[in-house]
Amino acid sequence: MGLAIVTGGSRGLGGALCDLYREQGWRVVEFSRSAPHPFSVELDLSDVRKVTEVFTREFESLAGLDVSEVVAVSNASLLGPVGPVERSTPEDIIGHLHANVVSAILFARAFAGAFQDHTCPKTFVNISSGAASRGLAGWSLYCASKAALENYVRAVALEQEDRPHPIRAISVNPGVMDTVMQEEVRTSRPEDFPEVERYDRLHREGQLAAPSTTASRVVELVESRPRPGEVYSAQ
């Protein structure tokens, strides 16, 4: 039995990944605030104390399963606050970094702690963004969080090289998709996000990929046993 563990799987790419893995007969566990699925665990990823408690409990249970392969997908992410940095409150900044960076690192830590000694194939997938490799006015926090996690994954991949049963850690840039986050992008004011017109145009021209299409590419990439530490495109 394969096991897929996904954060932010209530909708969008995360939801499509959950659907695809279930269709393939895998057991799926999903963490999100709305927790809409029978296999969901309710969790606000901006609440670091609660995240630590829930991940510890859930991964201790999952570690006892007899599995043929394990894939952990760190997909949950916040876009905002959007706009010039001086407009963000300290609470907004802390909440963003807790949800996008700290919780993702705690997720990776829990995964490694639970499955490091399992002999089956193990893959940690960080869902990244093109924003990790370039600055975008109005998206300073989002750019910072995505860049931080890509380099975190590179370091984890190096740590795993000498392990008897290494975890393959990779990042995937999913490209632009037709998701709720994209709707949020298109509602931005130009003074907050100067590139909003570009995303409006992509939507008008039908250039946003369906989450199900991108999910299939992510699963195929994992199945290909990619080189650890790299950033791959799902476009």
d(CA 171, CA 153): 7
Look at residue 159 and tell me if it is in a domain. Answer: yes
> In this predicted structure, what is the pLDDT of residue 6?
98
Look at residue 184 and tell me if it is in a domain. Answer: no
Write the pLDDT tens digit of every residue in 103-152.
Answer: 999 999 999 999 999 999 999 999 999 999 999 999 999 999 999 999 99
Look at residue 188 and tell me if it is in a domain. Answer: no
> In this predicted structure, what is the pLDDT of residue 205?
94
3-class SS at 224? coil
Look at residue 8 and tell me if it is in a domain. Answer: yes
- Please state whether the predicted TM-score (pTM) of the whole model is above 0.85: yes
Look at residue 66 and tell me if it is in a domain. Answer: yes
Instruction: State the residue range of the domain holding 161.
Output: 2-177+211-233
3-class SS at 194? coil
Look at residue 192 and tell me if it is in a domain. Answer: no
Name the E strands within the chain.
2-7, 27-32, 40-42, 69-74, 122-127, 168-173, 231-233
**In this structure, what token pair is assigned to residue 84?**
């010039």
**In this structure, what token pair is assigned to residue 216?**
């299939």
Domain CATH number, residue 128: 3.40.50.720
Look at residue 160 and tell me if it is in a domain. Answer: yes
Number of domains observed in the structure of the chain: 1
Write the pLDDT tens digit of every residue in 4-26.
Answer: 999 999 999 999 999 999 999 99
